[in-house]
Structure 1
């Protein structure tokens, strides 16, 4: 097997990527609050990892209603656009490429986050069980509270979600991203619509596979109108149960339908997150083969990959690009470490979410480790 596959250039639409390694979207909760504005520290973090063939940003709220996390960035205000522009300028100066991942949390939110304390929204009034949201208590300390029952979106409200994604896509252009990724995975709003057990609607947005897929496809079409198909990707987590997404019989049929429709749109890629390594469901190699055949375009594979398994996935035709999350998190020079067969840094698990530079921008590179060793 060719051990250099990960380091080969790859053409993604009209973008030439210097290698096949993608930095997966990683929520890190370092934006300023209130305001959810990207910071200079975030610019340093992303620029440190610019050797990735492509960076996909952390999940970014498309509207005030979309918010479900503290210190997570948005793309719905001018200060947020300005903050992201600083991030992207730093990435580009370091020679990188970066897409914005756009999302709406849906039922994975609280009235705490919502404008005027309104109820959070979902396809149907079905709460997520077994998960808690992190918020600030009255004394300023962090506390966790269960997700309550959401309010079902009225039929006339759903087009507004599409408008919010399109507006965020326009803001991503203004912030000088290189493209966008529609987040239809991990139990957030768009996947909540895909799943018949979290979407019990009887209107044009629920029921059949076509109706349940409608919102993801309409959002994608709206962002394609802003960016062009070659700069838009879509992320899915088929068979995943994260955030209380129940298993359902039509899972494979749903995603094959989506793949066929996205093929017609000509989007840049489908990004598949396999949750098997996280113990929350996941998909098989046979399903992956059928997705490849149905879509016929670029597939990004993500989920617990190593250098060896990533190389094998490309060699076997299972994926065109492979995405690394925690490995890039702890190793800003992951591409060079893989190239040299060098050991990887361990993840600082206590500093994954929130805080400052500790466990964020202080991971050593091979160059700094070598310099320290020589002294």
Structure 2
């Protein structure tokens, strides 16, 4: 009997199946330092304990996307080890801050399955939840991923495609306990722009660019314990290239968005997301954002911005997204719809 695990294939999943993922991960200040080394992030709430305390938090939490990567990484060996590509996200909510010393674990429920017409692969839909050492949920999200079949002729169940909300309702956003922006220090934050300074429909070119390096994306993917073969094994894809982990692109684009959205202080929900085209080492990433909506929150001095964050390869049309055929332009890498909190 083999003691090794080759990962699940499409025909191994069943709707309603619950998967408890190994291995719990205790996060430390080391994750924060490495996150800052990998991405040009400067968001003040995640950079300074004193700034975080002035905003009503006990200390600076781990960056929201760093917590996302840890939770996501736990799911990979069971959900996407044999993935062709991660396709999208929906109904993501950050439910509690994660602090150094917290231990995170993940579970997933299979909520949908649909075999592709070529019978070589299928799409697996899961809802994943990350919990801390107290069993309290810190993050939940749905995602769908294309997974290879072990045997193209293997029979599969009738397709089930879950109905997912197009966006998290503003009333369902969960803010960190005690969050208070009434004494927000705009000088220390780096930009003067308040929640009220942004208009629905406004587009912001974030100007800056970063070239993706092979070594950095490999380090990042290992840091998050993401074991998907397409990120490490150059023989896992017909073109012999290692695919950049989509979360690496998300974090890079979020960091670039500081220039123009420095006070979009924390992500509280992910409404939708698509990795529109593959990203490879050597690609130079730029980013732009569009303000999709705005909402009040019950927290003092805190408003919510619904933002579309688009990452593109250098050379893509400025602020462009789709062609005349309605499909993503070939140099669009990421289309992410999320809610962030900002000072009023």
Do both share a fold (TM > 0.5)?
no
| Higher relative contact order (Cα pairs below 8 Å, separated by 6+ residues) | 2
Higher relative helix content: 1
| TM-score normalised by length of structure 1 | 0.25
Higher relative strand content: 2
